[in-house]
Amino acid sequence: MPDFSPTQYAVPLFVVAVLAEMIWARFRRPEAYEPMDTLVSLAFGLGSTMAGALFGGFAAYVFIEAYEYRIFDMGDQWWAIWWAWPLCFVLDDLKYYWVHRAGHRIRWMWASHVNHHSSQHYNLSTALRQSWTGAFTFGLLFAIPLVLLGFHPIMIAICGGFNLIYQFWIHTEAIDRMPKWFEAVMNTPSHHRVHHATNPRYLDRNYAGVFIIWDKMFGTFEPEQRSDEGGEPIRYGIVKQLGSFNLLYAVFHEWIGMVSDIWRAPWKQKLSYLLREPGWSHDGSRDTSDTIRARWQQRQTRTLPVEAKPVADQNPIAGSAEAANSPI
Amino acid sequence: MDIPPLLLQFAGSLIAIFALYALARAMRLGGERVLENDESVKAVAAQVEDGFDAQRVAIDRGGTAALASDDQGQIMLIKRHGNQFAGRILTSDARVSEEVDAIIVTCGDPRFGPVRLSLGNPAIWVDAINRL
């Protein structure tokens, strides 16, 4: 039976890659890195590993218990069934898409996942800015169907590890675009820059882990528009930037905000502050990604010159917005 | 003496983290952006709050912070954060105090911290913030 964690072996590679990107930044784009931001991101990564060691046992216990109720049995030699590995990898990536989407659309999940987005930079150190509090969400439930299908928890963990390793290299501005066929199927730096952007056009888009096809299938894909393609520069981070390099504040700020909202909310609304999208408020006084995007779309349709309309029609978001909101 | 592998891994990672941080500083990555003119403040304000249309702007003499207001009476406090900028729309929780050559604005978010601005004509802004 295989007994190894691929991410552990990848750590030295991560360090060397960050170093290589820093050298690239030194000569090409010094502003791509900020020492304090990098320090916080790397500390996040270390803390996340420690949190995993401390709290990961609970998820393992749940999966091993659930495995007893599997529908299909691959037998004691499950690890020797070659086709089960790629199948598990693809299904695990599909699971990742949904758990990631939930991470952006359910505040309880966002309270943990926001950590990964809290940097205003986008470089390889950002990839290591991982949450400490994932064990306190219900994210592990998304993997239960795989366990019940008969994939051994160790197989799922190994596939998940390789998934995470793949996602490391896409956190960079050093790579512009990959070949077209690759961009069509795989998640790439270009697609993932969109995911980390706070520009209204890009909010809550491109949730993919390894295969971008899930976003195309489920209607959440948005291509990156470079400035030479009429796009505006990408702004990274979160809608309300932290403005602080305090590590503990960065880790827990959304948990604190969520709990205090629940505490102050009327009884009927308390659960909504846990389960509805980030930014939702019972009195409508705050912005969600949907309201921000809708406002932006309205501004676009108001300011769009008539002759520019054909270009906008070719864009999926602008196109759909005109159908729904256009005052023209 | 046997050192637990997890502790060894922790210590090794910690050394690597500080080494990369030190290297980033040694390579002078990051730099220090400044707010040079009204246009740059307006651009940053529109990024902090999508659609914020700054009509009046005051830039700190060092270019590290600014205040901006729109035609709806909203006031935004902007400060440099690393080599980026972050900001907050001020509410009635905002406080302003005056020093000899600067004003100190706090937005009510303790982690955002107080922001010191050395302005040419601070009285207008002090008054506007106090009226929020």
pLDDT tens string A13-61: 999 999 999 999 999 999 999 999 999 999 999 999 999 989 989 999 9
Q: Please state, rounded to an integer, the average pLDDT across all residues of chain A.
A: 91
ipTM: 0.92
- What is the structure's pLDDT at A89? 98
Residues B110 and B52 in one domain: yes
**pLDDT tens for each residue of A158-172:** 999 999 999 999 999
pLDDT band of residue A273 (cuts 50, 70, 90) is: very high
The answer on B59 and B94 residing in a single domain is yes
- pLDDT number for residue A227: 86
Check CB contact of B106 with chain A, cutoff 8 Å: no
CB A186, CB A109: distance < 8 Å: no
Q: Is B78 in the same domain as B45?
A: yes
Report the pLDDT value the prediction gives residue A324, as an integer from 0 to 100: 33
Burial bucket for residue A146 (CB in 10 Å: 0-12, 13-18, 19+):
buried
% of chain B beyond a pLDDT of 90? 80
Instruction: Based on the fold, state whether residues B56 and B120 are members of the same structural domain.
Output: yes
Domain co-membership, B122 together with B69: yes
A241/B87 touch (CB, cutoff 8 Å), yes or no: yes
Q: Domain range spanning residue B5?
A: 1-30
The model carries a pTM of 0.90
Please tell me the predicted confidence (pLDDT) of residue A183. 98
Nearest CB to B111: which of A31, A37, A244?
A244
What are the E-state strand segments in chain B? Answer: 54-59, 65-70, 75-81, 84-89, 95-98, 103-106, 115-117
Residues B25 and B84 reside in one and the same domain: no
Yes or no, beta carbons of A35 and B111 under 8 Å apart: no
Domains of chain B: total: 2
Q: How does residue A311 score in pLDDT terms, banded at 50, 70 and 90?
A: very low
In this predicted structure, what is the pLDDT of residue A301?
A: 86
Amino acid at A221: F
Does residue A67 have a pLDDT over 80? yes
Residues of A in contact with B21 (CB under 8 A): 35, 38-39, 42
Query: Does A15 sit within 8 Å of B111, measured CB to CB?
Result: no
Same domain, B70 and B122: yes
A92 touches chain B (CB under 8 A): no
Residues B12, B48, single domain; the answer is no
Nearest to B53 by CA among B35, B37, B34, B39: B39
Interface of A with B in 158-217 (CB under 8 A): 198, 200
Q: How would residue A1 be classed by pLDDT, with cut points 50, 70 and 90?
A: low
| Whether residues B11 and B56 fall in one domain | no
pLDDT (0 to 100) of residue A326: 33
Task: Judge whether residue B98 has pLDDT over 80.
Answer: yes
Are residues B45 and B94 located together in one domain of the fold? yes
**Could you tell me where the DSSP H helices lie in A186-269?**
189-196, 213-218, 247-264
Which residues 234-273 of A are in CB contact (within 8 Å) with B? 235, 237, 240-246, 249, 253
Q: Judged by CB atoms within 8 Å, which residues 266-305 of A form the interface with B?
A: 292, 295-296, 299
User: Are B84 and A121 inside 8 Å of each other by CB?
Assistant: yes
Residues B83 and B99 in one domain: yes
pLDDT band at A305 (very low <50, low <70, confident <90, very high): low
Are B23 and B55 members of one domain? no
Residue A22 Cα distances to A7, B23, B130, angstroms:
22, 9, 45
Model confidence at A328, pLDDT cuts 50, 70, 90, reads very low
Mean pLDDT, to the nearest integer, of B64-84? Answer: 95
CB contact under 8 A, A30 and B29: yes
8 Å CB contact between A254 and A277: no
State the pLDDT confidence band at A310, using cuts at 50, 70 and 90. Answer: very low
Looking at the partner chain, which of A37, A43, A125 has a beta carbon nearest the beta carbon of B82? Answer: A37
Provide, as residue numbers in chain B, all residues whose Cβ is less than 8 Å from the Cβ of A49: 9, 13
Q: What is the pLDDT of residues A204-233, one digit of tens each?
A: 999 999 999 999 999 999 999 998 888 999
* Helix and strand totals (H; E) in chain B: 3, 7
**Per-residue pLDDT, A306:** 52
Q: Using 50, 70 and 90 to split pLDDT, how confident is the model at A3?
A: low
Q: Do B84 and A241 touch (CB under 8 A)?
A: yes
